[in-house]
Amino acid sequence: MGWAGGGVGKDDNRGIEEPVSLVAVVNRAGLGSMQLNGFAPAVKRVIADFIRSGGHDDLVFSPEFSSEERAVIHAEARRRHLKTRSYGSGDQRHLILSLQRTPLELVEHLRAHGGETVKYSLIEPSNSS
């Protein structure tokens, strides 16, 4: 059991001198990998900061994240009751998070910010008879 050195292969162990080495592919790591273990706390911090900021704009994540990383982001967003949307496909897929607001909260938010944001414009009802 095991390799003690020398050639590897059939015909009296003549062949390659060293066995094939293992090459790790980090970007394809599974959910339990060290890469994602450090990723989840970073996502939690970014999302917490976004919520504390009042979420005036959407939080947009780069399309460079893997599907496993996007799953971590989605899970944390759902846990924090954020609205999530995913756009694109393949390596152009990006994720957008926003605060969920009731219609009344949205109107109050717009009034507090001059009646307009990047996404919305408040048009007050007219007094027509």
Mean pLDDT of the chain: 77
Query: How far is it, in rounded angstroms, from Cα 73 to Cα 68?
Result: 9
% of the chain residues with pLDDT over 70: 68
Q: Could you report the per-residue pLDDT of 41-58, keeping only the tens digit for each? A: 999 999 999 888 876 678
Q: Which residues of 83-114 are buried (b: 16+ CB within 10 A; e: fewer)?
A: ebeeeeeeeebebebbbeeeeeebeebbeeee
Query: 90: pLDDT confidence band, cut at 50, 70 and 90?
Result: confident
Query: How far is it, in rounded angstroms, from Cα 4 to Cα 17?
Result: 11
> Does the pLDDT value for residue 32 go beyond 50?
no
Q: What local confidence, expressed as pLDDT, does residue 129 receive?
A: 61
Query: How far is it, in rounded angstroms, from Cα 28 to Cα 49?
Result: 28
Q: Which among 100, 40, 82, 48 is positioned nearest to 65, based on CA atoms?
A: 40
Domain ranges of the chain: 54-113
Q: What local confidence, expressed as pLDDT, does residue 82 receive?
A: 92
Handedness of CA 16, 19, 24, 29 (dihedral sign): positive
CATH for 54-113 (3.40.50.1820, 3.30.1370.50, 3.30.230.10, 3.30.70.270): 3.30.1370.50
Q: What local confidence, expressed as pLDDT, does residue 127 receive?
A: 78
The predicted model scores a pTM of 0.57
Query: 74: pLDDT confidence band, cut at 50, 70 and 90?
Result: very high
**Average pLDDT of the residues in 107-116:** 86
Query: How far is it, in rounded angstroms, from Cα 11 to Cα 99?
Result: 68
Q: What local confidence, expressed as pLDDT, does residue 18 receive?
A: 59
